[in-house]
């Protein structure tokens, strides 16, 4: 520890989730010295839905399958636990279901193999940039680095260190139960206003989740009761208390960089505003953030600022369509559910979209047009509003 406290790293990454670990791996592969700080003891559990589009694997030169608990070949959709619709996942690879404790540790071990210095159980209490370096204060000592990547999740302090305003948080909840419900993900759309409830099998367990994605959050007690009712419906038994978690969903383009630093993953607020998925977006931003830091270390003075522009162009433009789809769906959720699930093409799009085989810009434009047309037939004047 003494040697590390006297060393000036090329980059310090705050937070060892998928975004932080990905950034650390990518920088180490460019022969940059990286310090990866994690506030929790390791490995640590992480309440999370854990659905990951297999398209996330494209950002690595190693196989992620050892860290995948289940692969899901079918989706079940429902409205208030009735009007069931089954959707086959017609993609090259099925949807992944991961346990974040295992998945995150797998990525961290890959980072360590690449030469990253990993220090768990080491929360950063402050970070200041002065002269030509960041100084990070922790209970384990003070560390120095030329660049900082904030990957400390939806509640971390790194946005304030970079003088950035984070997006608003939404409330989510997770309940772990015994028993796996086949190889099928289940999405329930009518039980939670302005949100949805879903379940994912993970090995011999099923994880139940609920989240609001727009408007005001419901009370924590209501989220917990919804998940308990969901467990009874699925005939699975909770193994622990329900845990609530904050979510930072994408709500528009915003600066993601500051002085010699940038944000990735939940710290950047790039989770999907339609599905709530955040792992793939964290991996993407971790990859792009590492590219920007590597370029800056190589002398490209505009690389850090360009990171915000790249994320807005390549990710934000697509998530804008997800947000439009979310807004339309939750204005008339029951009608939108019926219209959307009755069209075979829309059902196919859902599976492809969740697996990363289709962009929101492609899917949402068609889905919005068809849902709007259907609503226009049912609600006079709707298309003129």
CATH code of residue 86: 3.30.9.10
Q: Give the span between the Cα atoms of 70 and 55, in whole angstroms.
A: 16
H or E, element range at 184: strand 184-188
Residue 132 within a domain: yes
Residue 325 within a domain: yes
326 and 380 share one domain: yes
Joined tokens for residue 145 = 């680095």
120 and 157 share one domain: yes
Residue 173 within a domain: yes
Residue 61 within a domain: no
Residue 331 within a domain: yes
**Which pLDDT belongs to residue 374?**
64
**80: buried, middle or exposed (CB in 10 Å: 19+, 13-18, 0-12)?**
exposed
Q: Give the span between the Cα atoms of 359 and 104, in whole angstroms.
A: 25
List the beta bridge partners of residue 200: 207
- Show which of 316, 339, 356 is a domain's final residue: 316
105 and 163 share one domain: yes
255 and 242 share one domain: no
- Show which of 212, 230, 247 is a domain's final residue: 247
Please count the other Cβ atoms lying within 10 Å of the Cβ belonging to residue 110.
Answer: 20
- pLDDT tens digits, the chain, 385 residues: what are they? 446 767 899 999 999 999 999 999 999 999 999 999 999 999 998 888 888 988 899 999 999 999 998 888 888 999 999 999 888 877 777 889 999 999 999 999 999 999 999 999 999 999 999 999 999 999 999 999 999 999 999 999 999 999 998 878 899 999 999 877 777 889 999 999 999 899 998 888 899 999 998 888 788 899 999 999 999 999 999 998 899 989 999 999 999 999 999 999 999 999 988 888 899 999 999 999 999 999 999 999 899 999 999 999 999 999 998 888 888 888 888 888 887 787 776 667 677 777 777 677 777 777 677 666 665 655 555 455 4
Q: What angle do CA 371, 373, 375 make, to 5 degrees?
A: 70
8 and 79 share one domain: no
Which domain, by its residues, includes 177?
70-97+169-247
Q: Contact 6/145 with Cβ under 8 angstroms?
A: no
**Which pLDDT belongs to residue 29?**
98
Q: Are strands 74-79 and 184-188 parallel, antiparallel or unpaired?
A: parallel
183 and 218 share one domain: yes
CATH number, domain containing residue 21: 3.50.50.60
CA 383 to chain centre: 33
Q: Contact 150/127 with Cβ under 8 angstroms?
A: no
Q: Give the span between the Cα atoms of 310 and 290, in whole angstroms.
A: 13
Q: Give the span between the Cα atoms of 102 and 282, in whole angstroms.
A: 16
Residue 229 within a domain: yes
129 and 11 share one domain: yes
List the beta bridge partners of residue 159: none
230 and 285 share one domain: no
Please count the other Cβ atoms lying within 10 Å of the Cβ belonging to residue 6.
Answer: 11
- Show which of 221, 247, 273 is a domain's final residue: 247
HSE-CB at 63 with a 13 A cutoff on CA atoms is 2
35 and 139 share one domain: yes
Residue 55 within a domain: no
**Which pLDDT belongs to residue 95?**
85
Tell me which DSSP letter residue 55 carries. Answer: G
Residue 65 within a domain: no
217 and 366 share one domain: no
Identify which of 364, 307, 242, 282 has the alpha carbon closest to the alpha carbon of residue 50. 282
113 and 151 share one domain: yes
Q: Give the span between the Cα atoms of 50 and 331, in whole angstroms.
A: 27
CA 336 to chain centre: 25
338 and 209 share one domain: no
Structurally, how many domains does the chain consist of? Answer: 3
**Which pLDDT belongs to residue 361?**
76
């Amino acid at each position: 520890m003494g040697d590390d406290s006297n060393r000036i790293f090329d980059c310090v990454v705050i937070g060892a989730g998928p975004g932080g670990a990905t950034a650390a791996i990518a920088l180490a592969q460019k022969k940059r010295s990286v310090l990866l700080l994690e506030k929790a003891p390791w490995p640590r559990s992480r309440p999370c839905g854990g659905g990951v589009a297999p398209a996330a694997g494209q950002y690595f030169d190693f196989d992620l399958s050892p860290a995948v608990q289940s692969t899901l070949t079918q989706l079940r959709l429902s409205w208030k636990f009735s009007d069931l619709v089954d959707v086959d996942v017609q993609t090259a690879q099925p949807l992944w279901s991961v346990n974040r404790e295992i998945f995150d540790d797998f990525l961290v071990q890959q980072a360590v193999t690449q030469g990253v210095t990993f220090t768990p159980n080491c929360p950063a209490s402050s970070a200041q940039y002065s002269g030509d370096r960041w100084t990070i204060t922790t209970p384990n000592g003070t560390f120095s680095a030329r660049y900082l990547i904030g990957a400390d999740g939806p509640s971390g302090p790194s946005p304030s260190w970079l003088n950035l305003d984070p997006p608003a948080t939404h409330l989510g909840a997770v309940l772990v139960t015994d028993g796996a419900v086949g190889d099928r993900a289940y999405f329930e759309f009518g039980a939670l206003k302005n949100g949805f409830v879903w379940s994912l099998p993970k090995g011999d367990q099923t994880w139940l989740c609920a989240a609001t994605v727009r408007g005001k959050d419901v009370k924590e007690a209501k989220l917990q009761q919804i998940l308990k009712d969901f467990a009874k419906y699925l005939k699975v038994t909770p193994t622990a208390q329900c845990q609530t978690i904050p979510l930072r969903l994408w709500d528009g383009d915003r600066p993601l960089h500051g002085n010699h630093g940038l944000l990735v993953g939940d710290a950047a607020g790039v989770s999907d505003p339609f599905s709530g998925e955040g792992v793939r977006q964290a991996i993407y931003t971790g990859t792009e953030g590492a590219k920007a830091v590597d370029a800056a270390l190589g002398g490209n003075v505009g690389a850090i600022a360009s990171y915000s522009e790249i994320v807005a162009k390549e990710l934000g433009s697509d998530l804008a369509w997800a947000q439009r789809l979310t807004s339309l769906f939750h204005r008339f959720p029951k009608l939108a559910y019926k219209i959307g699930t009755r069209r075979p093409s829309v059902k196919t799009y859902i599976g492809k979209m969740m697996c990363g085989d289709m962009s929101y810009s492609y899917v949402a434009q068609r889905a919005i047009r068809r849902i709007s047309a259907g609503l226009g037939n049912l609600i006079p004047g709707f298309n003129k509003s």
